[in-house]
């Protein structure tokens, strides 16, 4: 059999190879995506995002264990940043997910961002489509460690878990636009550390401000859950909220709405990635003379744009 | 930019395959300084390095290599248990049909054992004092080139 049939039949080696080809934008990988895509869509796609070191991978480890206890077939896709100078990457999320190595129903794949901004790599969602098509459900997608405004992931998944930790600022941080606006579930990890109770209180206050009790029917009120990846405290509540949100999506029109929004976001994302790739790689996009002129103060960056437009 | 890095600018957005390397520490020794230095050097060389850290069993290493579709497995060992662990790692890789992966090793491995390890399929053994550049060059020259069909 070929890669495609083998992967569909559950062969992990073929699946892993297809994902590599997809990640490389190899025509074989892209053809595989086209073939798998119609069979995808059944899985609950869960995004996990938050600052570096917040405990995203460690929480995912707990979620994997909990979903396995429910006999679900779980995939994890974890993104770490690529170096902008060398193109290389150190992918270290797997180190928190080693306990499941003997379990054939857990698949973990590490991806490098490969120059993509926003928390995911260009191929991350494609990888999720393939994993979805071959029967993994849920699919847990871990973004890179993010700061204030990398909210891409929330556009592509069904449920976003925003992981926050105490010690990174005061209540004003919870009022800022950007990442604080995403997250159907906000997990306050390291809840055993000082400041966690105050952060939970501030976040609940923030959520309540945005969602007055009179809000229209069928909206989801983000839930704030203190958890500890070290002790496992709060994981049961996290699982309960994930199930609740999944039910909420399926029993309202929200799932189809979200999936349509995700499709739109995906097309936009792909076009943007394609443009960026062309900008940096097409032979005609040689900006070296222009760069010299700008650095030598002979040309302003603004004026250079007019020139660049002709070259692209 | 140090001498391990590639000269071409902005390779980070380049499509195409990147060399994927699994760095693992099999067995029970708790010293991963060398493995971390290597992970960093390989990152600077433009490789994607999956670092799984300490105390890896042969099964864990082979499963990670399988799921991550790596081109190279780098084993760092300082405990002296290489002659019992490496045959098991190679067997676990073979059991998963991963024979085309380039397996290399480093750490404290006596010269007398190298021929035996080569016979098992360990392509190279890099002892103390090996330059990082030599390891990177070896990987660039010997990482498998795969031809896939749907």
Same-domain pairing of A17 and A148: no
What average pLDDT does this structure show over A242-260?
A: 94
Number of domains in chain A: 3
Same-domain pairing of A289 and A230: no
What average pLDDT does this structure show over A117-140?
A: 94
Of B12, B51, B59, the CB nearest to A84: B12
Same-domain pairing of A192 and A248: yes
- Band of pLDDT at residue A163, cut at 50, 70 and 90: very high
Cα separation, A90 vs A82, in Å, equals 8
Same-domain pairing of A1 and A109: no
Q: Which of B129, B122, B128 is nearest to B88 (CA)?
A: B122
**Cβ <8 Å between A91 and B10:** no
Q: Tell me, what's the pLDDT at B8?
A: 39
- Band of pLDDT at residue A202, cut at 50, 70 and 90: very high
Q: What is the mean pLDDT of chain A?
A: 90
Please tell me chain A's helix, strand, coil percentages from 3-state DSSP, rounded to the nearest 5: 50, 15, 35
Of A19, A25, A276, the CB nearest to B69: A19
- Band of pLDDT at residue B11, cut at 50, 70 and 90: very low
Please name the residue of chain A whose CA is at the shortest distance from the CA of residue B6.
Answer: A86
Q: Tell me, what's the pLDDT at A274?
A: 82
Domain that holds residue A123: 40-273
- Band of pLDDT at residue A28, cut at 50, 70 and 90: very high
Please name the residue of chain B whose CA is at the shortest distance from the CA of residue A90.
Answer: B49
Tens-digit pLDDT profile for residues A292-309: 999 999 999 999 888 877
Name residues 49-68 of chain B within 8 A of A (Cβ).
49-53, 56-57, 59-60, 63-64, 66-68
Cα separation, A14 vs B76, in Å, equals 28
Structure tokens at A65: 């264990």
Residue A105, in any domain of the structure: yes
Please name the residue of chain A whose CA is at the shortest distance from the CA of residue B37.
Answer: A90
Same-domain pairing of A13 and A86: no
Q: What is the mean pLDDT of chain B?
A: 88
Same-domain pairing of A7 and A154: no
**Cβ <8 Å between A85 and B12:** yes
Residue bearing the bigger pLDDT, B72 or B15? B72
Tokens 């790692």 found at: B89
- Band of pLDDT at residue B4, cut at 50, 70 and 90: low
Residues 6+ away with beta carbon under 8 Å from B65? B22, B73, B93, B96, B98, B101
Cα separation, A283 vs A291, in Å, equals 16
Q: A186 - beta bridge partners?
A: A162, A224
Percent over 70 (pLDDT), chain B: 89
SS3 string of B83-125? HHHHHHHHHHHHHCCCCCCEEEEEECCCHHHHHHHHHHCEEEE
Same-domain pairing of A258 and A135: yes
What average pLDDT does this structure show over B68-77?
A: 96
User: A138: cis peptide before it, omega within 30°?
Assistant: yes
Q: Tell me, what's the pLDDT at B150?
A: 77
Same-domain pairing of A50 and A142: yes
Tens-digit pLDDT profile for residues A266-302: 999 888 878 877 777 766 567 788 889 999 999 999 9
Same-domain pairing of A236 and A256: yes
Asked if residues B26 and B75 have their Cβ atoms less than 8 Å apart, the reply is: yes
Strand order in the sheet with A106-112: A106-112, A74-80, A139-145, A45-50, A159-164, A185-188, A223-226
Same-domain pairing of A255 and A294: no
Q: Which of B27, B38, B28 is nearest to B106 (CA)?
A: B38
Q: Which of B50, B49, B32, B42 is nearest to A95 (CA)?
A: B50
Same-domain pairing of A160 and A78: yes
Residue A278, in any domain of the structure: no
pLDDT at B7 exceeding the cut of 50? no
């Amino acid at each position: 059999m070929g890669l495609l049939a083998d992967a569909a039949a559950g062969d992990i080696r073929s699946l892993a190879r297809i994902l590599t080809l997809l990640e490389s934008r190899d025509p074989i990988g892209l053809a595989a995506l086209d073939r798998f895509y119609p069979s995808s869509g059944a899985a609950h796609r869960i995004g996990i995002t938050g600052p570096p070191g917040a405990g995203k991978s460690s929480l995912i480890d707990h979620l994997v264990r909990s979903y396995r206890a429910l006999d679900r077939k779980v995939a994890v896709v974890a993104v770490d940043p690529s170096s902008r100078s060398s193109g290389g990457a150190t992918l270290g999320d797997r180190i928190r997910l080693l306990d499941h190595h003997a379990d054939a129903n857990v698949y973990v794949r590490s991806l490098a961002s490969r120059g993509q901004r926003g928390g995911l790599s260009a191929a991350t969602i494609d990888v999720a489509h393939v994993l979805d098509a071959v029967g993994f459900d849920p699919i847990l997608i871990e973004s890179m460690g993010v700061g204030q405004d990398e909210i891409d992931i929330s556009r592509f998944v069904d449920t976003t878990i925003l992981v926050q930790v105490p010690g990174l600022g005061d209540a004003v941080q919870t009022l800022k636009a950007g990442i604080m606006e995403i997250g159907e579930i906000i997990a306050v990890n390291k809840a055993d550390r000082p400041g966690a109770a105050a952060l939970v209180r501030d976040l609940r206050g923030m959520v309540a401000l945005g969602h007055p009790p009179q809000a229209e029917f069928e909206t989801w009120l983000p839930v704030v859950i203190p958890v500890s990846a070290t002790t496992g405290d709060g994981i049961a509540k996290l699982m309960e909220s994930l199930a609740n949100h999944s039910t909420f999506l399926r029993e309202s029109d929200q799932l189809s709405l979200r999936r349509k929004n995700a499709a739109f976001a995906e097309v936009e994302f792909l076009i943007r990635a394609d443009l960026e790739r062309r900008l940096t790689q097409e032979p005609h996009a040689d900006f070296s003379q222009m760069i010299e002129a700008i650095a030598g103060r002979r040309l302003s960056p603004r004026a250079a744009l007019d020139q660049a437009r002709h070259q692209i | 930019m140090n001498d391990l890095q590639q000269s071409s600018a902005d390779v980070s957005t380049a499509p195409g395959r990147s060399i994927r390397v699994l760095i693992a520490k099999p067995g029970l020794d708790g010293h991963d300084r060398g493995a971390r230095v290597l992970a960093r050097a390989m990152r600077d060389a433009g490789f994607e390095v999956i670092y799984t850290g300490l105390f890896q069993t042969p099964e864990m290493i082979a499963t990670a290599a399988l799921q991550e579709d790596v081109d190279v497995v780098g084993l760092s060992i300082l405990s002296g248990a290489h002659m019992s662990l490496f045959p098991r790692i190679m067997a676990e890789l073979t059991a998963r049909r991963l024979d085309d992966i380039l397996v290399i090793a480093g750490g404290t491995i006596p010269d007398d054992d190298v021929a035996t390890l080569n016979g098992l399929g360990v392509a190279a053994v890099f002892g103390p004092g090996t330059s990082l550049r030599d390891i990177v060059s070896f990987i660039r020259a010997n990482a498998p080139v795969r031809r896939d069909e749907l």
